Amino acid sequence: MTLDRGRCPQFYGDMLTLDPQSLTMGALALNPFDYYIFNFALHLVSNSQNKSSWENWNSVYFALACDYLTHFLPSDPNVLVLPHIPYYNGKVPMVTPLQTSSRPLYSPSLLLIPDISGMTNQHNQHTTQSQSRNEVWRSETVLQVFIDIWMCVEQCNTSNVDMYQKKYTTVFSSPERVRTVRVLVKHIHSYSAKHFTDLTSRSSALRKYARQIMCVRGYHYVQHLVTTWPLDASFRLVMELWLSLIQPWRYTDNNINQDRYVTSNNNQEEGNSNTLDASFTQYIAENFPSYTCIFQSVLPRFLRLDLTAYKNAIMLFRLGKVFSQQHLVPILWNLEQAITDTSSGLHQTPDTSFNNSAMEQSYTYNGVPLHKWVAVAKQALSEFNLSANYEYDPIWTDNKKQYAIEFVQRISASKVISEKNFDEICKRMGQQNRGVWRSIKHWFLLDNQCEDDILLEETRRVPTYLTASIHHFSNIFGLSENIVLPPELITEEALDHSSFANSSHFSSHITNKLRSKATEVHYMGDPDLMPIASYENTILVRMLFQISSRINEMFREELMTLWNRNNFWGFVAREMLQRPCTIHMYMKDATNHQNVVSQDLPARLSLRRLGSHSFVFWISLGYIFMRLFSYSGFTYVLFVILFWALYVCTKVCLKMLRIIH
């Protein structure tokens, strides 16, 4: 699609083959290495792969991707890419080195290494460039192909979306793809941070521009994910990808093995000692939209989420923690003021200080003059968004002040609700822990004490996360503590009619109403296909499902006939079988839209109850007890069947006599 539009980076220009008659692009001439890397990258974004389930985070593909990044893009400039292939640069022609002064941000074409020896002789210059290209062409391929394919986003509007769906196969992002892209982003940050260490290194120029090549692609990819990702807790994958993209100072010494192995802390950047300093001001200016534009796209999502849920509270806390770190918001605020303030220009005035007592700053922040980066930020806004009529919507203005206040008030209201939820759970668990029956269940491992402890711990942490979020976002928006109303004065009904609540397409009061009626939310699918719970044996549940499915398939009509009979056997069937029910499923139509489809399930046999850990425990205990009295296993099975049949017949007789219902 990029070649069809005529925007071909220099990297692919070396590979293009033209039809001699029509002078149209016919194919890409790839060497074996490039061909393999292309297919390896395409495997992650193929629709057939996305339809499968990536249940194992530590997949072979992910491990290979990590190995390729560390081998072909080594963080240490002194490490050479092996094996060494002499007198080969991977491409057919040699092109002119890239001129950095005229290089646009939005056309990331990889470069040849310039003449680092300072020789003016053309022959020596050509020889030096050939040697340089020989050492970096594989790194160049891995870098360009991984970024172009893994971060590909098709920009289409409502007018051409139908045409696009017919012409091109729809590409969407799986969680594994987002996780792999995040490792790529973190490694490129580490790879690019080393270009200052040895300017005579053959890969110095490639390291210098690797991050810039990634940033434009990363902005569009993250923006696409933010607007299309499902409204659930899995959005943290997308948010962590974005936070990795905008925090290069966290990954100057990134170790990719921390992401590769599941035993490692996947959020190790939270404890990273690297902090933001003045040297990253240029990066912030060059990627200004990645901070502000995506930030404004992410905030409305939290209105539609239940902030009293543990995973949602963590996401909000992480967002506030990153943007409240020292220097970041003041730099962004001053750049935004310089961009939007056309009347006073870049002159410092008393009104241009950041509206926060802890951050009294101006266009010259922390001794670093920002005026030279304002033009860079303006250029990034126009080139990142690629729209002629694009107008930047500032964050820190008087028009958005009420917006910010209501957002923090929303967090305060959620904090009050979370504290009440914690008290209720403590009361409920205190009542459940009383009595003799509770002690018996605990002794025979029939309770869910572990799950209750986890729930209690998560509920206890939610108010803490929300309290920290209130502090973080108050600092981000420059709000003083007395502006934000106390939590007890904020009601859910008041927020339903606020301008902030009405600013989104899905009104926040819908979420509140659903949350207040949680008891009416229930599973609408096939009961036998519900996710396997922690108190069930995974292998046993799946095996019993296959057995019951086969029986239901073979005796479908007989089971329905027995269910409808009104005699003794009819009562037995209604005691043993699952009652007919109607389930609801989501099905995609021809236009890839999901519709709710209803399906009637007949009376059927379900053996899922036999797959619980408690059933296995009692059966095993009974077998051990019978063996103590020298009874065989066959006798024990016969005894269990007879006891079960007696129980069913007794219950059926009582129901026929209308003694029980």
What number of helices (H) and strands (E) belong to the chain? Answer: 25, 6
Summarize pLDDT for 560-606 with one digit per residue, the tens.
999 999 899 999 999 899 989 888 877 765 555 567 778 888 999 99
Count other Cβ atoms within 10 Å, centred on residue 512. Answer: 18
Count other Cβ atoms within 10 Å, centred on residue 420. Answer: 12
Tell me the C-alpha distance between 339 and 333, whole Å: 10
pLDDT, residue 321, reads 95
pLDDT above 90: residue 454: no
Question: Which of 234-243, 281-290, 301-310, 384-393 comes out lowest in average pLDDT?
Answer: 384-393
* Mean pLDDT value across residues 9-38: 81
pLDDT, residue 183, reads 95
DSSP of 245-302: HT-GGGGTT--THHHHSTTS-TTGGGG------GGGHHHHHHTHHHHHHHHHHHHHHH
Report the predicted TM-score, pTM, of the whole model to 2 decimal places.
0.68
Tell me the C-alpha distance between 60 and 48, whole Å: 17
Greater confidence (304 vs 194) lies with 304
Count other Cβ atoms within 10 Å, centred on residue 93. Answer: 7
Averaged confidence pLDDT in the chain: 76
Sign of the CA dihedral running 267, 270, 272, 278: positive
pLDDT, residue 157, reads 45
Which of 468, 469, 476 lies closest to 325, judged by CA?
476
pLDDT, residue 506, reads 40
Summarize pLDDT for 79-128 with one digit per residue, the tens.
888 888 877 766 654 333 333 333 333 333 344 333 333 333 444 444 44
Could you tell me if 564 and 577 are in contact, meaning their C-beta atoms sit under 8 angstroms apart? Answer: no
pLDDT above 50: residue 501: no
Greater confidence (489 vs 398) lies with 398
Greater confidence (265 vs 5) lies with 5
Could you tell me if 370 and 363 are in contact, meaning their C-beta atoms sit under 8 angstroms apart? Answer: yes
pLDDT above 60: residue 296: yes
Q: How far is CA 21 from CA 25, 26, 27, in A?
A: 11, 11, 14
pLDDT, residue 124, reads 42
Could you tell me if 289 and 339 are in contact, meaning their C-beta atoms sit under 8 angstroms apart? Answer: no
* Mean pLDDT value across residues 426-443: 66
pLDDT, residue 524, reads 78
> Is the previous residue joined to 108 through a cis bond, with omega within 30 degrees of 0?
no
Q: Helix, strand, coil shares of the chain as percentages rounded to 5?
A: 60, 5, 35
Summarize pLDDT for 372-409 with one digit per residue, the tens.
788 888 888 888 876 667 788 899 988 898 899 999 99
Tell me the C-alpha distance between 546 and 554, whole Å: 12
Sign of the CA dihedral running 567, 569, 575, 580: negative
Which of 304, 359, 313, 212 lies closest to 505, judged by CA?
304
Contacts 24+ apart (CB under 8 A), 88-92: 88/134, 88/137, 89/130, 89/133, 89/134, 89/137, 90/31, 90/33, 90/34, 90/133, 90/134, 90/137, 90/138, 90/140, 90/141, 91/14, 91/15, 91/133, 91/137, 92/14, 92/15, 92/29
pLDDT, residue 387, reads 65
Greater confidence (190 vs 109) lies with 190
H, E, C per residue of 579-633:
CCEEEEEEEECCCCCEEEEEEEECCECCCHHHHEHHHHHHHHHHHHHHHHCCCCH
Strand (E) or helix (H) holding 520? none
* Mean pLDDT value across residues 269-285: 75
Count other Cβ atoms within 10 Å, centred on residue 329. Answer: 22
Tell me the C-alpha distance between 38 and 289, whole Å: 30
Q: What confidence category does residue 48 fall into, taking pLDDT thresholds of 50, 70 and 90?
A: low
Tell me the C-alpha distance between 557 and 565, whole Å: 13
* Mean pLDDT value across residues 523-551: 87
pLDDT, residue 99, reads 32
Could you tell me if 346 and 377 are in contact, meaning their C-beta atoms sit under 8 angstroms apart? Answer: no
Tell me the C-alpha distance between 18 and 505, whole Å: 49
pLDDT, residue 53, reads 52
Count other Cβ atoms within 10 Å, centred on residue 590. Answer: 5
Q: Which two tokens stand for residue 47?
A: 């629709």
Count other Cβ atoms within 10 Å, centred on residue 196. Answer: 12
**% of the chain at pLDDT higher than 70:** 68
Question: Which of 16-20, 273-277, 362-366 comes out lowest in average pLDDT?
Answer: 362-366
653: alpha, beta or left? (left if phi > 0; alpha if psi -120 to 50): alpha
Could you tell me if 195 and 208 are in contact, meaning their C-beta atoms sit under 8 angstroms apart? Answer: yes
In degrees rounded to 5, what are phi and psi of residue 253? -130, 50
Which of 158, 170, 341, 318 lies closest to 250, judged by CA?
318
pLDDT above 90: residue 161: no
pLDDT above 90: residue 218: yes
User: How far is the first Cα of the chain from the last one, in angstroms, to the nearest whole number?
Assistant: 67
Q: Which two tokens stand for residue 79?
A: 């490490």
Q: Which two tokens stand for residue 497?
A: 């009619």
Which of 338, 318, 335 lies closest to 327, judged by CA?
335
Summarize pLDDT for 53-82 with one digit per residue, the tens.
555 567 889 999 999 999 999 988 888 888
* Mean pLDDT value across residues 494-515: 42
**18 beta partners:** 25
The C-alpha torsion from 559 through 564 and 567 to 568, rounded to 10°, is: 40
Question: Which of 274-278, 432-436, 617-621 comes out lowest in average pLDDT?
Answer: 432-436
Question: CA angle, corner 476, sides to 473 and 481, nearest 5?
Answer: 60
DSSP of 523-585: --S-GGGSPPPTTB-HHHHHHHHHHHHHHHHHSHHHHHHHHH--SHHHHHHHHHSBPPEEEEE
* Mean pLDDT value across residues 207-235: 90
Strand (E) or helix (H) holding 488? none
pLDDT above 50: residue 511: no
pLDDT above 90: residue 160: no
Count other Cβ atoms within 10 Å, centred on residue 332. Answer: 22
Q: How far is CA 618 from CA 366, 584, 610, 611, in A?
A: 69, 35, 11, 12
pLDDT, residue 112, reads 38
